[in-house]
Structure 1
Amino acid sequence: MRNTKSGNLASQLSTLTASDKKRSKSSESTKTVDKYGLYDENTFKSLLSAERKRTERTSRSFVLSLVDVRGLWDEFGKDGIGRSAEMMDTLVEALHRRSRDIDIKGWYRQDKLIGIIYPETDKGIQPVLEGKLKDALVETIGDHFHSHVGVTWYGFPNEPGSWDGHASKEAPAFYPEAAGGAGTSLRAVLTRVLDIVGSLTGIIAFFPLFVVIPLLIKLTSKGPVFFRQQRVGAGGKRFTLMKFRSMRISAKENMHKEFVKNFIRGESSEEAQEKKGVYKITDDPRVTLIGKLLRKTSLDELPQFFNVLRGDMSLVGPRPAIPYEVDEYRLWHRRRLFEGKPGITGRWQVEGRSSASFDEMVRMDLQYLERGNLWSYIKFIIKTPLALLTMRGAY
C-alpha cells in the first residue's frame, strides 16, 4: 500500500496535460519575466488572483509557497552585489529544477519573497513538494545558508468549517489585490479622508436624534440603548459594530442564524421566497415597537458613524458580515471580506435594499470593490437618502 500511494503521488506530480502546457507557454510569452526568470510582483499577483478565482468556481485546490530570501541577500551582501546575484541565480535555478512546468514562479514581494503557485494540488501532495523544495535549497545553498532562507506553505481553499468568522493566518496571502498598488493606495487615502469628514458631519447633523432616540428606547423597553455585535471586517478581522437597540434584550439569535444559513444557501423559508429573498426577517417578533420604526428608516444604524470614525468601516462598502454567516459562504463569497472595508451604505443598500438574493448582493459588493472609484463612492452616498425615504425593502 505504501508503494502504491507513493506511486500515485509521483504520478500526480509528473502529470502535465496538453492544455496545461499550452496555458503555461501562453503565460510565459505574454507576461513580464525578470533576469532571474521570475515574474515581477504585479504580474505574479495577477496570476495568483486568477488562480484563486478559478478555484473559487471549480473547487480545485492549489498550493502557494513563499520563499523568504531577505536573509540570503543580507548574508551574501557582505561579499558584494555580484556574489548576491550569483547566489540568487543558483537559488532560482534550483526552484525551477524542483518544480513542474505548470507551476508559476515570481515575486510575491519584489526582491524579498519568491512565490510558487502549484495549480491543482491538494494538501496530500504538499508534503512531497515541501521535501523536494527543502532538498533543493540544502543541495544548492548548503546547510549553513539554508538557515537564511524561510519557506512558508499555504493551501487554498481552507478546510470547510474552519472560519467561524475568523480569517486564518494564511487567508490574506491569497488576496494580494486587497493590498493594492500606488493608485489604490491613493484612492484609499482619499476615501479615508472622506470617511472621517463624512462621519463627523453625520454625527453633528444627526446629533438631535442621538439624544431623542436613546430616550425613546429607554421609555419603551428595558435594556441598554446600544446594541453591540461582533462583525467581520476588512481582511477577515473582527470588530464591534454599534447600532441603536431595536430588539428586546431577551431575543435569541438562533432564529436569525437559521434564516441566514438558509438564505445564503438559497433555501430560504417560504416567507423569504414570497418576498423574493430578503436578508432581514420580516415581522420579526423580537423587534420592539420603537425598533420597528428605527429599522424601517434605518435610523438604528446611525451609531455606525462611530465605527467609520474608528476606521472599522467606510461610509460605502459591503454590508458587515456576521461571524456565524461566514462559515456558510462559498469560496467566491469570501472575496467581499478581503477587497475592502464594510460600509454603512453601498450598491446593495441603494439598489437592492434587502430585496436581492445573497449571490446578487455579493456580486453588487464585488462590482463596487473591484470597479468602483471616488465618483461611485460619492454617488452611493448621494443616493442613500432617497433609498431611505422610499423605504423600499426596509424591515
Structure 2
Amino acid sequence: MPLSKRLFDFVLALVGLLLLLPLFALVALLIKLESGGPVFYYSYRVGNGYRIFRFWKFRSMRPDADQMLASMKNLNQYQASTSAAAGAMQAASGTCACGQTCQAQLIDKQGNKVCEKYHRQQQKATGNAAFIKIVNDPRITRIGSFLRNTSIDELPQLFNVLRGDMSIVGNRPLPLYEAERLTTDQFAARFLAPAGITGLWQVSKRGKGGKAGMSEDERKALDVEYARNYSLKKDLGILLRTVPALFQQENV
C-alpha cells in the first residue's frame, strides 16, 4: 500500500474513532437491550494478497445467525434458479461447448478439458455462487436492520484500518468461502488492492436499480477495475460518492 494512502487512512480512522465514541456507546446499549449477546461481531476475512484477518462489525444479526446460514442458501439472490441455470447451461454449451478452444481450457476434477465459460456456467447451475445475499434476511434484528441501512454497523472497521488490516477505500474483504471461489486469473486481481470499508461497487449504478440490481459478475469486474487503477485521488472521489450512497436503503 502506498505510504500516502496509509497515512491518510490512519489519520482519518483515528479522528473518526475519537469523534464517534458517544455513538459507539449508544449503539452498544441498544444491541444489548434488544438481543443480549456480544456487541461486536467478527469473522475471518480475506484481504490484500489473500491475507486473512479478523473483520469487526457491530452485531446486527441474532447470536445464532451463523448456524442458521446452512439451511438458507436456497434464498441466496445470487444463486441462479433451476430454470434460469438450465437456460444458461444450454446457451453456454451452444456457443462454447466442452472441448472447443473458444475459451481458456481448464481441467475438471475428472481430468477432462472443459472451456472456462462452460465451467463458470456450470458452477452457477450447481449452487456455487461466489457471493451470498439474502433478501429480507430473518437473522437480522430490528436494531441491526437500522444499523445496516445506515452503514453504522461498519464503523468498528475503523479499528481494522488503524491496525493496517484494511483501508478506508478498497475492495470489500471476503469471507473465506467466497474468496476461495475467486482464485482464477479472471478475478484474482481484485486481491491486489487493499481491503476497504467502502469501495467502487458500493457507490456504482446509483439511479439504475442501485446495488440491489447489480449482478455478481458486475461486482467482480468493479473490484478488478479498482485493483488495477486505484489512487489517493480516486479514493477521495469514492469517499465523496459514499456520503449520498448512505441514504439509499441498501448496505454500503
1:351 matched residue in structure 2: 204
The separation in 2 between residues aligned to 1:268 and 1:221, in whole angstroms, is 36
Higher helix share: 1
Partner of 2:102 in structure 1?
Answer: none
- Larger Cα Rg: Structure 1 or Structure 2? 1
How many residue pairs align between the two structures? 200
Task: Between the two structures, name the one with larger relative contact order (CA 8 Å, sep ≥ 6).
Answer: 2
Q: What percent identity do the matched residue pairs reach?
A: 40
Quote the residue 1:394 is aligned against.
251
C-alpha distance in 1, partners of 2:148/2:247?
A: 13
CA distance in 1, matches of 2:162, 2:212: 25
Matched-pair contact (CA < 8 Å) for 2:193–2:227: yes
How far the C-alpha of 1:382 sits from its partner, in A, is: 1.4
**C-alpha displacement of 1:333:** 1.9
The one of 176, 190, 199 aligned to 2:4: 190
Match of 1:262 among 76, 79, 91: 79
> 1:334–1:370: structure 2 CA closer, same or farther, 3 Å change rule?
same
Q: Equivalent residue for 1:79?
A: none
Q: 1:365 & 1:329 partners in 2: Cα distance?
A: 11
CA contact (8 A) 1:257 1:325 kept: no
* Structure 1 gap ranges (5+): 1-184, 270-277
The residue aligned with 1:280 is: 133
C-alpha distance in 2 between matches for 1:249 and 1:214: 15
Aligned residue identity for 2:30: L
Give me the whole-angstrom Cα distance separating, in 2, the residues matched to 1:385 and 1:233.
24
CA contact 1:279–1:354 (8 Å) conserved in 2: no
From 186, 189, 194, the counterpart of 1:335? 189
Q: Distance in 2 between matches of 1:381 and 1:261?
A: 27
C-alpha spacing 1:359/1:369, structure 2 compared with 1 (3 Å): same
Shift of 1:366: 1.6
TM-score, structure 1 as length reference: 0.47
Q: Where does residue 58 of structure 2 map in the other structure?
A: 244
Check whether the contact 1:279–1:355 (CA below 8 A) recurs between aligned residues. no
> What secondary structure does 1:198 align onto?
helix
Instruction: Provide the secondary structure at the position in 2 that maps to 1:329.
Output: coil
Runs ≥4 residues deviating over 4 A: 255-258, 263-269
| Alpha-carbon separation, structure 2, partners of 1:325 and 1:371 | 23
In 1, the alpha carbon distance for the partners of 2:161 and 2:71 equals 29
Provide the rounded CA distance (Å) in 1 between the counterparts of 2:14 and 2:212.
Answer: 27
Deviations 1:304-329 (A, max 9, x none): 01001100001111111100112322
1:368 is the counterpart of 2:251:
no
How far is the alpha carbon of 1:384 from its aligned partner? 0.8
SS of residue paired to 1:206: helix
C-alpha contact 1:203 1:305 (8 A) present in aligned 2: yes
> Structure 2: where are the runs of 5+ without partners?
81-119, 206-210
Q: Is the 8 A contact 1:232 1:322 kept in 2?
A: yes
Cα displacement (A) at 1:203: 1.1
- Aligned mates of 2:199, 2:236 — CA distance in 1: 10
User: Please, what TM-score do these two structures have when normalized by structure 2?
Assistant: 0.72
Secondary structure of the residue that 2:165 maps to in structure 1?
A: coil
Match of 2:34 in 1: 220
CA distance in 1, matches of 2:47, 2:55: 10
